[in-house]
Structure 1
């Protein structure tokens, strides 16, 4: 089984300098072109997906649909692939959020976002395991998973049994650029996972 975990393309929130999270912004023109480039890249590489799984949030959904259209696949939406819920910070200007809600030096695993909103670290880790389970139980051989940076990072950390990133200061992080993916190969007989490559889906 070959699984490609990919982040969506450039979105409007990137231009607005907003905390994206569950703020449902669409792709920019650049993001649309990135997704189209990704679809060409996969075609040139001879990578044909059996199915595409996507977060229902617009930026991921649009990315998945553009690639899906090129491969004549209708993406399947999974709520477990949504971005990390940052509560009342969703859609807030980043500077305004930092001014109104300064980050503490240490954030507990059980701490929610300001005004007791959003998901805590345990919630996110739990959801990442659910996403992994939903992906791994698919019966197809080549799967593209289109999601978001923070939850994809947590999925990778969960797969590797590594600590979660806390308050962007403590722990580990896998960074995903626009339309960047991590290709994992799973041996279903041994449950062995091998990292094949990590790169942006575009022609060199």
Structure 2
């Protein structure tokens, strides 16, 4: 069965500070680096057969992906479309679960003043997934919570509220079947 795997990056400084990261680069914490190493070992010992790791160019995802590559020996390369959504005026603000930001995530065409809309984000991720679906390789995508939300919506029906509220944990690994 043709599939793709997805993992979110390890914990970042701004995750701890409850700030909205978006395309702003926030480095991994010590815990985040340990999570990345543990993810690498988990993938290595899982029996999952992967061909390649594709990762976001932001350092938090790149560092996580490279830790998995080091543990598994898998080739890894940057995929620019996996970068996190640009949240414009919200980047660097906190808390991530503020009522204003939560409401803004329900407005799919809103660009957050100089940011990127959910529709623009979905287009680039859906285009990537459509390409990977045509490929016979099995990839591990290492990216961000916002990207996880779009990947989830590609494979599963979601309401707007479910989409806006969706999230995964740092270094959580998920499998998505193209043929399901």
Bigger Cα displacement from structure 2, 122-131 vs 4-13? 122-131
* Aligned counterparts of 1:157 and 1:184: Cα–Cα separation in 2: 11
* Aligned counterparts of 1:108 and 1:183: Cα–Cα separation in 2: 28
TM-score normalised according to structure 1 size: 0.76
2:88 is the counterpart of 1:87: yes
Q: Is the 8 Å Cα contact of residues 43 and 72 (structure 2) preserved in structure 1?
A: no
Provide closer, same or farther for how the CA distance between residues 120 and 139 of structure 1 changes in structure 2, counting only shifts above 3 A.
same
* Aligned counterparts of 1:161 and 1:95: Cα–Cα separation in 2: 28
Q: Is the 8 Å Cα contact of residues 20 and 95 (structure 2) preserved in structure 1?
A: no
Residue 111 of structure 2: aligned partner:
112
Using the TM superposition, give the Cα deviation of residue 94 of structure 1 relative to its aligned residue in structure 2, in angstroms: 0.4
Q: Is the 8 Å Cα contact of residues 4 and 176 (structure 2) preserved in structure 1?
A: yes
Q: Is the partner of 2:169 in helix, strand or coil? A: coil
Q: Is the 8 Å Cα contact of residues 49 and 71 (structure 1) preserved in structure 2?
A: no
Equivalent of 2:139, from 143, 152, 159? 143
Residue 199 of structure 1: aligned partner:
none
Residue 25 of structure 1: aligned partner:
26
Higher strand share: 1
Q: Is the partner of 1:117 in helix, strand or coil? A: coil
The number of equivalent residue pairs is 177
Larger RCO of the pair (alpha carbons < 8 Å, separation 6+): 2
Using the TM superposition, give the Cα deviation of residue 73 of structure 1 relative to its aligned residue in structure 2, in angstroms: 2.5
* RMSD of Structure 2 on Structure 1 (CA): 2.5
Provide closer, same or farther for how the CA distance between residues 19 and 103 of structure 1 changes in structure 2, counting only shifts above 3 A.
closer
Q: Is the 8 Å Cα contact of residues 55 and 61 (structure 1) preserved in structure 2?
A: yes
* Aligned counterparts of 1:112 and 1:34: Cα–Cα separation in 2: 32
* Aligned counterparts of 1:86 and 1:30: Cα–Cα separation in 2: 25
* Aligned counterparts of 1:35 and 1:8: Cα–Cα separation in 2: 7
Provide closer, same or farther for how the CA distance between residues 136 and 43 of structure 1 changes in structure 2, counting only shifts above 3 A.
same
Q: Is the partner of 1:19 in helix, strand or coil? A: coil
Q: Is the 8 Å Cα contact of residues 35 and 67 (structure 1) preserved in structure 2?
A: yes
* Aligned counterparts of 2:69 and 2:48: Cα–Cα separation in 1: 12
Residue 123 of structure 1: aligned partner:
120
Bigger Cα displacement from structure 2, 116-125 vs 57-66? 116-125
Residue 189 of structure 1: aligned partner:
none
Residue 178 of structure 1: aligned partner:
170
Q: Is the partner of 2:42 in helix, strand or coil? A: helix
Q: Is the 8 Å Cα contact of residues 41 and 72 (structure 2) preserved in structure 1?
A: no
